[in-house]
Amino acid sequence: MTTKYPEIPKKTFADYGQMLHGFWPNKPTFTEKDYPEFEGKVIIVTGGNTGVGYETVKSLAGSTKAKIYIFSRNEEKTLKAIKDIELEVAKEYKLKPNPIGFIQTDLSDLTTIKPAVEKFLNKESRLDLIIHNAGVMTPPTGSKSKQGYELQLGTNVLGPFLLQRLLDPIFIKTAKTNPPGVSRIVWVASTAHQVAPKGGIFWEDKNFENIPISSTIRMQIYGQSKAADILLAKAWTRHHPNVKDDVISTSVCPGYLKTELSRHSSWFESFILNRVTWPRRFGAYTELYAAFSPDVKDGDYSISFGVPAHTREDLNSVESGDKLWNWCEKETDPYV
């Protein structure tokens, strides 16, 4: 029997140019000076206790008056991160930020997400912005989520999809009270989507269990999870037509950054990455450009550090997006 490998579409010159942009990105121009006050509004940042998420929360805490919640797995690590953020904000921004909330959940275990949302709903009656920042990249071969999915597919795709699905009622209710475009969903993807299987998902073997895993295949598996985030970003408003004029659902590649996301890389990969990546704070500028810039429209994709960009052409397919959406709904139905 012949082993079936995923088909990877050929890249255009524009695709290659965009991939190179990450090594020599533009200087951020949309920064804290441009963010709205967001007073009285509520923001969720997943994975806000480390890496780009940490910097995003810090920037929000220092430059807006919003109430911020970190959704993350490790309570001890997150509570320490919140204390560190508060100290850094006081030093850098010369102010005392609003208290930062913590909700414990593990995106790699779908059973933990509904209790987390219920805890949030007991505390808040609105939700204006959610940044799906948490994720995992190239874990050890064979890593699985609690429900048995390939770990990146489970953590980067199904976890955020279920979280958003459960938050949709309060998010949509809030969106109807906001001016158009204020309520936003930011799905953190990656330029790695360029090496994802055609259509985003390798449906013949989405958990990559039947082919030998090489370094190239490892990146394709990661790219699959990030292509899926782009497809979901483009599909969200299509599946919520009652608020299609009110909500912006958008995706980003934060940039090539020095974060814990690459902790599973080999020593050689880490050696190279440390020489071609940028401080993680710059990634926060990409995420918050998507969250606040008036230039961002529904379905857009942005790259480092706040630059409009394009996704691979096949990821604009409504058919591919709806196929993934329907699969995610079916897989998460038992946990709603």
Q: What span, in angstroms and rounded, lies between the C-alpha atoms of 329 and 336?
A: 10
- 68-85: buried (b, 16+ CB within 10 Å) or exposed (e) per residue? bbbbbbeeeebeebbeeb
SS3 call for 335? helix
Neighbours of 9 (CB within 10 A): 16
Beta bridge mates, 302:
252, 308
DSSP letter, residue 246: T
Q: Which residues pair with 131 in a beta bridge?
A: 45, 186
Q: Which long-range contacts (CB under 8 A, 24 or more apart) does 200-203 make?
A: 200/224, 200/227, 200/228, 200/230, 200/231, 200/314, 200/315, 200/320, 200/324, 201/227, 201/228, 201/320, 201/323, 201/324, 202/6, 203/323
Q: In what order do the strands lie in the sheet with 183-188?
A: 101-104, 67-72, 42-46, 129-132, 183-188, 247-252, 301-303, 307-309
Token pair of 72, please?
């993350």
Q: Which of 226, 234, 256, 289 is catalytic?
A: 226
Distance, CA of 299 to chain centre: 14
Instruction: Confirm whether 149 is a catalytic residue.
Output: no
**Which is catalytic among the residues 35, 222, 256, 285?**
222
Catalytic, 77? Answer: no
Long-range contacts of the stretch 146-152 (C-beta < 8 A, 24+): 146/106, 146/108, 146/109, 146/110, 146/111, 147/109, 147/110, 149/207, 149/331, 150/206, 150/207, 150/208, 150/209, 150/221, 151/108, 152/221, 152/222, 152/224, 152/225
DSSP three-state, residue 233: helix
Please identify every residue annotated as catalytic.
Answer: 222, 226
